[in-house]
Chains A and B, each alone.
Chain A
């Protein structure tokens, strides 16, 4: 991207809404691929919709699961996606073909899946009420990571930027840093709030550049640390956060936080309302609050890896936030230079001379020297924005774009048609990724397909009656029926806002979820078609818990 030569690559932050990505399914989670060219959106009907960000059009739809997709992650080369659904299944998908490579069944719902940043063979899975598990895809083996306190198993985990370490955090605020290969404990510390009370860790997010990471805790403070400092503090260290970000006025709890592509800004989505707060990491000041539609609740927030664009999900719709495009008028004139401040003009001695007596021979050598320069028209420099500091080259086999075939319009009158003996062969859009074809077939892929390998992961001591927070709450713990009355949020948040999901009628025969009942909901939406969506035929509500 030669943009660096022309634009200041110093990313800023988005400042206004820039449209939405709307499709039939209700979106639950989203994630950009490494270059920001594709956005994968997991939906509540189990589909993964891949949007081409340049054209803001749908590039592919993978009918991945039957149950809502709750977590997604792109592989580093962009060819694979790993997804988790609320029925405790983790699958790996090949993006180009839409086929499922492998499947893992867990005993409890999955909160998060993440590829090892450098090794696509390893996937970190965070099941509920369990220690995090690292899967090795090639041999379907898994390793359970050590935890600090066996009694409390609401553990979240994340790879660091390079995948060398895994950071885990539990409900008592203890952070463990484990070496990825050996699971050895190399550092640990405990997050305490002001009065030495512990606070539950809700998530750990790493920046794509630099060594910083943030911890989102139940006390509504976002703490930003430098990874290197954590490692030097070692076990039971007491590192100081670089920044502590919070909304003091409203005591806003945060649903999801992430860094900007260059790590200079942090965006946090409020769990109470549709608002995104953006801070500058180095100074810690709040630079922007982006407001979305009132009454909607945020489900997910993702910052584009390179551009100042944020994608946020609320009410099943992906909203895009971008910068206001101001035309740079000085670019339209070749020698125009914008000045930041007034410059005193100094007249030359010979400014107003009609004939310059003192002028020497015009300098020719400068131009000639330039013309003797060697130009290299073929070698390509790697784009700094996409390269990591410890890697030399870009991956030449990476998948940046999905091929798109133009949709065929109606055949038109062709008075200049070919002579009668010309041969007309059939159109080639049989295998094209047109949406119509995708949605009519149940699977989105061709019939003769090898069955993906399914592995059951057994975890000790994990209750298998947990329900994913997206679906409902474990009240009686036995059935998946949604609860009437106040859901007890496990990470302790506020009152329930009336969550009215926008209901899209199941189109082209596909079942959709989204019925809502109970006193929390204001309006009753249509119940769904039976069978495919929920195992026992129960109707499942989607509550948004903070």
Chain B
């Protein structure tokens, strides 16, 4: 499937809503970022839109310019592969989760590691800041979720969250809730202040949940399970509202994302080397981006522009930036 769509696909047609809503995006490959020497595990745009951070199995984090794809700097420090990286809200700090059982907080400007958070007893798989950037939440193969205080690096709370490795953790937009997904097939929602479990969603009994995150307004949860299905849940009622299929995801924890800068899309990587884009409402696949030569493990959306960053595993090792008009 061609990665480029004809230009007129974006002409607005009267859709369900009054305002102009594009039918399909026309993402085209703009830059390919080469630099990692092993599989890339995660890419994230900074909240101010200037930078892209990528973490990799080659134990380093690389910072790139978000608009031009230029290499900026490399952050060294971890002793084993890094699985995830996340930005603080003011775009000055990064936190990374690594197989060396630690998380590290980095100062982006100087490239130095400010703090190492120790406490997990197995690989740390996922991490995120809260919107105030005073807390960090991390999920690990030791089946727990930990909440850390950024300032002192202390572990404030340990939540006995799941009975299998925790694959994803995310704060909602107000920082009051944490969602965690795990290989045990459950998604749990926690109160950030007290650490209490508020709700559990059984996504599917026998299927590991490979990814979970809140929607930008915090009302919905997007889950990805290893049966090649993405689901959008209204967690307060416990109902699955939308299902997105068509891609391949049976082995890896592939990141997915909401794209809300232009049309409202769901973006996800896939094990068939393509980036898939669905329309949030109609659940149709509106575009498939071709170019990677290995499993596309992660896809991230720029906060303000219609830019998607995707990255792939060892056979590819590159990050690709795709730009669209809508």
Contact = CB atoms under 8 A, between A and B. Distances in A.
Given A3-B177, A416-B77, A331 B107 contact: no
A427 B74 contact: no
B107 A2 contact: no
Interface in A1-30: 1-3, 5-7
Most A CB within 10 A of own CB, among B113, B132, B281: B132
Contacts, number: 171
B177 A2 contact: yes
B186 A334 contact: yes
Contacts of B219: 2, 376-377, 381
Contacts of A401: 132-134
Interface in A57-83: 57
Contacts of B34: none
A3 B216 contact: no
Contacts of B176: 1-3
A54 B196 contact: no
B194 A325 contact: yes
23 contacts: A6-B189, A37-B132, A54-B134, A54-B193, A325-B194, A325-B195, A327-B196, A331-B196, A334-B201, A334-B202, A371-B242, A375-B232, A377-B260, A380-B173, A380-B217, A383-B174, A406-B93, A406-B114, A408-B114, A408-B115, A416-B78, A424-B111, A427-B110
B264 interface: yes
B215 interface: yes
B197 interface: yes
Chain B interface size, as a band, is 35 or more
Interface in B122-139: 132-135
Contact of B134 (A52, A370, A422): A52
A404 B134 contact: yes
Contacts of B217: 376-381
B145 interface: no
Interface of A: 1-3, 5-7, 37, 52, 54-55, 57, 307, 325, 327-328, 331-335, 370-371, 373-381, 383, 400-401, 403-409, 412, 414-418, 422, 424-429
Contacts of A3: 176-177, 191, 198
B16 interface: yes
B18 interface: no
Given A408-B115, A424-B112, A427-B107, A334 B264 contact: no
Contacts of B105: 406
B149 interface: yes
Given A370-B239, A377-B260, A378-B264, A2 B174 contact: yes
Contacts of A370: 239-241
Given A371-B241, A375-B280, A414-B77, A6 B200 contact: no
